[in-house]
Amino acid sequence: MTPLRFPEHRTLGDDVGDLANGPSGGRGTMYLAGIGLALIPVIYGWVCLERGWTPLFGSRSPSMLLRGAEAQALAVAYIALGAFAHFHWFWALHPRLYRYSQPLKKLALVVFLIPFLWVIWQVVSWSFPA
């Protein structure tokens, strides 16, 4: 017997797929999500750059604090995540900036993935030394 699925039931894959397209909404969405929500990872990344250490994925464990180049790389990834949100919700809803939204979202995604994957590689290599 298959489980019931309702039309309003959405999965994480549906939500991630929506990020590839333009958002819906008006000026409220544009400013609340495009600036307010986008500022959260940008400010967090900036604070991590300033203090010189970054918790790995919000962990409060002292063993999960990154320092040095890894902390800087993860902080840049957080800032790129905020830039992605800004380009998705602000630029895509702006009447004159919408055409630049998709290329800038792709750039922000690349800027996010390179340091993020490098940090993951570094952490895994610490855990399993050769």
Written as six digits, the tokens of 64 are 């999960």
Residues in Cβ contact with 12 at an 8 Å cutoff, skipping those fewer than 6 apart: none
Percentage of the residues of the chain whose pLDDT score is greater than 90:
54
Asked, for residue 63, whether it belongs to a domain, the answer is yes
Predicted local distance difference test score (pLDDT) of residue 17: 54
Predicted local distance difference test score (pLDDT) of residue 47: 96
- Tell me which residue range forms the domain holding 76: 25-127
Q: How many domains does the chain have?
A: 1
Instruction: Output the average pLDDT for the chain.
Output: 84
pLDDT at 61 over 80: no
Whether the full predicted model's pTM is greater than 0.75, yes or no, is: yes
Asked, for residue 2, whether it belongs to a domain, the answer is no
Q: How do beta strands 65-67 and 53-55 pair?
A: antiparallel
pLDDT digits (tens, 9 = 90+) for 77-125: 999 999 999 999 999 888 898 899 999 999 999 999 999 999 999 988 8
Asked, for residue 19, whether it belongs to a domain, the answer is no
- Average pLDDT score over residue span 62-90: 92
Predicted local distance difference test score (pLDDT) of residue 26: 82
CA dihedral 15, 17, 21, 23 (to 10 degrees): 0
Asked, for residue 3, whether it belongs to a domain, the answer is no
Predicted local distance difference test score (pLDDT) of residue 102: 92
